[in-house]
């Protein structure tokens, strides 16, 4: 049992778990804000455009035995709108982060080595070769790779 508790403590103290916990708390708060925006701001505007229909009242009643059951498709429509808003915000955040990362990478060159080539026939030759294996020309100096900046 002690080993289990030590492993659990090590798991909890990892940075990833703490980051995930913070993300869940912020996500929960963000969801409450999005719910309020959709229910209190967007749905009344949409309702006004479609003739004053309250989406939470939109139900399909199914008569079953002693009581009536209802499919609340209006609530589903609200949930879909909430999902689309959250997806849009996450997309915009990821797009912004990608743009910031690409902006941070500007000005930094990446160097790449290119295999040596014969100056006469332009075929690739082995590093250190003094003669081209393709055209048999004698190279002015032993072949060495070139560094190219991207």
- Per-residue model confidence as pLDDT tens digits over 26-68: 888 888 888 888 888 888 888 888 887 777 788 888 877 666 7
Residue-range domains of the chain with CATH: 1-105 (1.10.1200.120), 110-149 (no CATH)
pLDDT (0 to 100) of residue 46: 81
* 58 vs 74: CA distance, rounded Å: 5
* 78 vs 42: CA distance, rounded Å: 9
Q: Is the CB of residue 131 less than 8 Å from the CB of residue 137?
A: yes
Per residue in 100-139, pLDDT tens? Answer: 888 777 766 666 778 888 888 989 888 888 888 889 888 8
* 40 vs 53: CA distance, rounded Å: 14
Q: Give 57's contacts (C-beta < 8 A, 6+ positions apart).
A: 74
């Amino acid at each position: 049992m002690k080993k289990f508790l030590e492993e659990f403590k090590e798991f909890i103290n990892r940075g990833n778990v703490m980051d995930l916990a913070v993300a869940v708390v912020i996500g929960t708060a963000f969801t409450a804000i999005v719910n309020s925006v959709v229910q209190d701001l967007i749905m009344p505007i949409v309702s006004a455009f479609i003739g004053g229909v309250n989406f939470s009242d939109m139900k399909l009643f199914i008569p079953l035995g002693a009581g009536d059951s209802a499919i609340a498709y209006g609530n589903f429509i609200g949930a879909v709108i909430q999902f689309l808003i959250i997806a849009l915000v996450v997309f915009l955040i990821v797009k912004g982060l990608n743009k910031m990362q690409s902006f941070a990478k500007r000005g930094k060159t990446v160097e790449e080595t290119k295999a040596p080539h014969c100056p006469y026939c332009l075929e690739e030759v082995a590093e250190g070769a003094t003669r081209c294996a393709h055209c048999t020309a004698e190279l002015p100096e032993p072949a060495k790779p070139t560094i190219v900046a991207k």
